[in-house]
Structure 1
């Protein structure tokens, strides 16, 4: 750890040593210096250079000692805050400014720009995420050939037949990318992961399977995301003129306890996004910030490592539904909109959705013909049309997440340690990790009646009732 004196102007008495960096890294001038602000205007170029070099050293120390923290959305802001506070305290102790001077903002502005320069030009770690316009896409012939080989391998991987015993065994012996993030979250989340992976062996069902006695809550945010994932794929393919293919659940080639099921991979060889992975989140009730949440960032890293791919487009969309058919046809502002048919089958616990292709357009006659033809087709399979959903795209965000090998190498020991615990407790017992049941208390009412109030009662939505018309839909 550097001493406070290192962060003082001209503390070394000489120019800071120039670092060996790639001058063209990310297309920026590595020797670009942050603009001096207020207090810093009184310092010499040599002093500014020394301070900048010291800041770079602090950032490098954070990178090397806390690389796992890059998964956090606040990673860069946390570094800026720590460096700012270190400089402020050092300069304050040295008496470089009076207590009444408002210099914290000056230091913070300088640090902000210095940190940005470092991560744009010097850092050997890829940026946590990149907005689309910040990094042009370039694939040479060698890269295209390597991508083709990787996709061919992924397509050739044998996968057990769904719902077979082999399929259960396969899924139960993986920590998948969608829930592996719990290892790096709170102790409670890690505990729940271990419990789920132990319990699924006892029940012989994968943790992602819906229990047979449960019905689907079609109003939940999770179901909303699943329902509109195919729509987002269609929009993505249209926006970028590409083709997305599904590859199922892939097992990591080295660490057999890790698995991933990406939402898709770009498989159009003539497209500039060829070989880029796709991860989709359909948002219902939160803001889209363009900054991937920690659990999503970790999910994409595990997917890229498992599939040996270097880039992932992280797409967030907000799909909304029109209240009426009339609103759908009256709308002239939406760039993307369409129709989803919601089918039900007797005794089926899950709804079935059929999506109208975007290329059909939205003329009423064409839409009506498609609905009529699709109803007839699915009626042969015993499906009844329950409702027609008219959707439109309200918001679209596409952020590139680069593969971070350093993060994964630092994460592997934690993953393997957790898996060892799972294997051990599958034998020795895992019941101690079950969630503590809340006790039910009965409180007498304050009036003269014989009524009571029951507190902490557990309510479950185990039945979904849907009234169907008797006439054929």
Structure 2
């Protein structure tokens, strides 16, 4: 079958040929090949042979004598990549087309070693360009290796290309590509560049945007009228998730009836202030909240970053922070697809270049005695040296409210003063309990902005938004998640349970796929 890999190969060859031999290119011929490749509905071996034949005609001069290899060797191109790079690229198509005579020496690929990886990097760029959504995949590197390697399977099998040498060069090529179009993350918060002089004005502009306070009714209503960074992954995922997302945005916003304090979502929100304080303490910086921000050019996109570094003296000044407080997921140091997309959208909306991805695992002590017994050198450290602390839970109406003992509380005396202070300050609220916690695990990885990914996917995001606006008028019932009925046999009476395969409640996804 004539698959995407072949399309990619053809586009690379035409691009290279047109670049180095513009005087020998027949524009009409090239247009004909491109048009046939992109528009023909025939996906058979016949189509493949037709395209190969069309390209083969382009590989010979007007007398039908010289191959393009001869043309390359005869032209002085001092600023071009090594001739072997171009030859190898062309051989991908020629080795598959038996009608073209190949004059290609065994292992020539590895004889001119200096810049072979440039060839692989160019193919990597084209594959990514043709498949823009794969950059968000956590296993993007492995996917790219597999796609690029498919180009060379025939050459490796025929021992034209040395397999071990190829793998080494492929690794270098992909690493080079990542430098320009990053998906990989660095396993710690690092400083790669001095904060730009434009940051103060950017942050001031973000602050000047009048916004409702986070997690208020007004805040949720505003987010309901946007494609938010935390839910944008659904637009770029399966059709089922796309339908569910469109449906959730078409239905009117419904506020929470009550807060489930035992849910993973609430767990993440409960410990978010603790995570912020830990980050500020460990990296000697200060974070600011900026509410729900809309994109200046794409008004249907919005983001609510957990924080932005606002200390102008810090080398992290202007860097965003995304927090995930985990309940039952393993920390790998590689953001899930949903989270990576969320951070990319946040950086685009705020026009910032960097983000730290902070994951924390907190454990709670059953009682104060167990908390007190696990003591280190100071009140805020465990016997193993990990951070620990206390928070107080109150209720105001039907909503929980928390007070947090400062992380720098190092003595029991300071802790007792804090308790007295919060009880006095919250005298009109209903006190519920103290919660004693310790930090079990923490990971902070640096995630750079990938501008190319956004430019490749913003059209799909706009399409989703236009679909929502259109179907609010024309109807959206066909987007309703499929319901599955499960019958449980129980004698004469059967219990019937109906569940939604996908959820419609948009505001439950403020932390996508919350653990």
The answer (yes or no) to whether the contact 1:283–1:316 under 8 Å persists in 2 is yes
Structure 1 residues 264, 161: closer, same or farther in 2, change over 3 A? Answer: closer
> How many residues end up aligned between the 2 structures?
401
Q: What CA RMSD, in Å, does the superposition of the two structures yield over aligned residues?
A: 3.1
1:465 is aligned to: none
Structure 1 residue 156 displacement after superposition = 0.6
Structure 1 residues 120, 440: closer, same or farther in 2, change over 3 A? Answer: closer
2:392 is aligned to: 341
1:180 is aligned to: 232
2:9 is aligned to: 2
Report the Cα distance in structure 1 between the residues aligned to 2:217 and 2:498, rounded to whole angstroms: 37
SS of match in other structure, 2:330: coil
Q: Among 420, 438, 456, which residue is 2:497 paired with?
A: 456
Report the Cα distance in structure 2 between the residues aligned to 1:252 and 1:222, rounded to whole angstroms: 26
Q: Among 451, 454, 460, which residue is 1:405 paired with?
A: 451
The answer (yes or no) to whether the contact 2:189–2:444 under 8 Å persists in 1 is no
1:390 is aligned to: 436
Structure 1 residue 231 displacement after superposition = 0.6
Structure 1 residues 456, 17: closer, same or farther in 2, change over 3 A? Answer: farther
SS of match in other structure, 1:340: strand
1:23 is aligned to: none
Report the Cα distance in structure 2 between the residues aligned to 1:293 and 1:19, rounded to whole angstroms: 39
SS of match in other structure, 2:362: strand
Consecutive unaligned residues in structure 1, runs of 5 or more: 21-41, 98-105, 446-450, 460-473
> What does residue range 222-237 of structure 1 map to in structure 2 within 5 Å?
222-237=265-280
Structure 1 residue 235 displacement after superposition = 0.3
1:28 is aligned to: none
Structure 1 residues 19, 172: closer, same or farther in 2, change over 3 A? Answer: farther
The answer (yes or no) to whether the contact 1:276–1:313 under 8 Å persists in 2 is yes
Find out whether 1:154 has 2:206 as its counterpart: yes
> What does residue range 257-276 of structure 1 map to in structure 2 within 5 Å?
257-276=300-319
Report the Cα distance in structure 1 between the residues aligned to 2:137 and 2:296, rounded to whole angstroms: 27
Structure 1 residues 357, 95: closer, same or farther in 2, change over 3 A? Answer: closer
> What does residue range 296-307 of structure 1 map to in structure 2 within 5 Å?
296-307=339-350
SS of match in other structure, 2:359: strand
Report the Cα distance in structure 2 between the residues aligned to 1:384 and 1:290, rounded to whole angstroms: 40
Find out whether 1:220 has 2:220 as its counterpart: no
Structure 1 residue 452 displacement after superposition = 2.2
Structure 1 residue 374 displacement after superposition = 1.1
Find out whether 1:137 has 2:178 as its counterpart: no
Structure 1 residues 52, 302: closer, same or farther in 2, change over 3 A? Answer: closer
Structure 1 residue 226 displacement after superposition = 1.0
Structure 1 residue 437 displacement after superposition = 3.3
The answer (yes or no) to whether the contact 2:320–2:354 under 8 Å persists in 1 is yes
Find out whether 1:46 has 2:111 as its counterpart: yes
TM-score (norm: length of structure 1): 0.76
Deviations 1:43-68 (A, max 9, x none): 78525457544423321222332233
Report the Cα distance in structure 2 between the residues aligned to 1:442 and 1:132, rounded to whole angstroms: 48
Structure 1 residue 121 displacement after superposition = 3.5
> What does residue range 70-149 of structure 1 map to in structure 2 within 5 Å?
70-92=135-157, 94=158, 107=163, 110-111=165-166, 113-121=168-176, 125-132=180-187, 136-139=191-194, 143=196, 145-149=197-201
Structure 1 residue 408 displacement after superposition = 0.7
Structure 1 residues 161, 389: closer, same or farther in 2, change over 3 A? Answer: closer
The answer (yes or no) to whether the contact 1:137–1:272 under 8 Å persists in 2 is no
1:24 is aligned to: none
SS of match in other structure, 2:266: helix
Structure 1 residue 421 displacement after superposition = 0.5
SS of match in other structure, 2:432: strand
Report the Cα distance in structure 2 between the residues aligned to 1:60 and 1:301, rounded to whole angstroms: 19
SS of match in other structure, 1:219: coil
2:464 is aligned to: 418
2:363 is aligned to: 320
Deviations 1:316-348 (A, max 9, x none): 111111222222223211331110111124x41
Deviations 1:363-388 (A, max 9, x none): 33322332232123212x2x222121
Structure 1 residues 12, 455: closer, same or farther in 2, change over 3 A? Answer: farther
SS of match in other structure, 1:2: helix
Report the Cα distance in structure 1 between the residues aligned to 2:349 and 2:370, rounded to whole angstroms: 44
The answer (yes or no) to whether the contact 2:117–2:173 under 8 Å persists in 1 is no
Report the Cα distance in structure 2 between the residues aligned to 1:132 and 1:258, rounded to whole angstroms: 29
Deviations 1:7-31 (A, max 9, x none): xxxx9699999778xxxxxxxxxxx
Structure 1 residues 167, 371: closer, same or farther in 2, change over 3 A? Answer: closer
